[in-house]
Amino acid sequence: MTYEILIDGKKSKLELQLIEQGFRCVLDGREVPVDAQIVAPDILSLVIGENGRRSFEVTRERMNDETFVWVGNARYAVEVRDPRARRTAAASAGDAAGPKKLKAPMPGKVVKVMVAVGQEVEAGQGVIVIEAMKMQNELKSPKQGVVTKITAVEGTNVNSGDVLVVVE
């Protein structure tokens, strides 16, 4: 099985082949001896190497529709593309040309909508203000374009990951 894996946006090729005692693991053409065990849901214990068998605890975190893994104190954004699902993955990868959704990065209350449908906005221009825990946060347009949809309503609560505005 071969996967295309993006770690913080950087692409790697990972081959995993089931063998008697676990997996044969080849990362970007380099064979890596791996001993892996799931010790709890979303927690993987890895021992890597033959001599100098380094022990790692890797934790998977899902937030909205993103996935991260923690290795020690460092958090990596990950995306795994299964070759069998490659077309779907490629199709869903947005690019700058299409419409972009501005999502709420945390739950909060919409205190101000600063744009109107049809309005032109610059990339980085403030479009929505959300308040949480008594602090206000101005959310910025993800790209230059025209506001095609506003779902946020002033005075209402939103959840993390809710779409607030679409810019096209």
State yes or no: residue 58 binds other proteins (CB under 8 A): yes
Decide: is 135 part of the binding site for other proteins (CB under 8 A).
yes
Binding residues with other proteins: total (CB under 8 A): 71
Of residues 24, 48, 99, 151, which one binds other proteins by CB under 8 A?
48
Residue 31 makes contact with other proteins by CB under 8 A: no
CB of 101 to other proteins, least distance (A): 16
- Tell which one of 89, 114, 132, 146 touches other proteins (CB under 8 A): 132
Stretch that binds other proteins, among 28-36, 89-97, 110-118, 146-154 (CB under 8 A): 28-36
**Cβ 4 to other proteins shortest distance, Å:** 10
Identify the bridge partners of residue 102 per DSSP, sorted by sequence position. 165
Interface with other proteins, residue 103, by CB under 8 A: no
Task: Check binding of 71 to other proteins (CB under 8 A).
Answer: yes
SS (H, E, C) the chain: CEEEEEECCEEEEEEEEEECCEEEEEECCEEECEEEEEEECCEEEEEECCCCCEEEEEEEEEECCEEEEEECCEEEEEEEECHHHHHHHHHHCCCCCCCEEEECCCCEEEEEECCCCCCEECCCCEEEEEEECCEEEEEECCCCEEEEEECCCCCCEECCCCEEEEEC
- Closest distance between other proteins and the C-beta of residue 76, in Å? 4
Q: According to CB under 8 A, which one of 125, 137, 144, 151 is a site residue for other proteins? A: 137
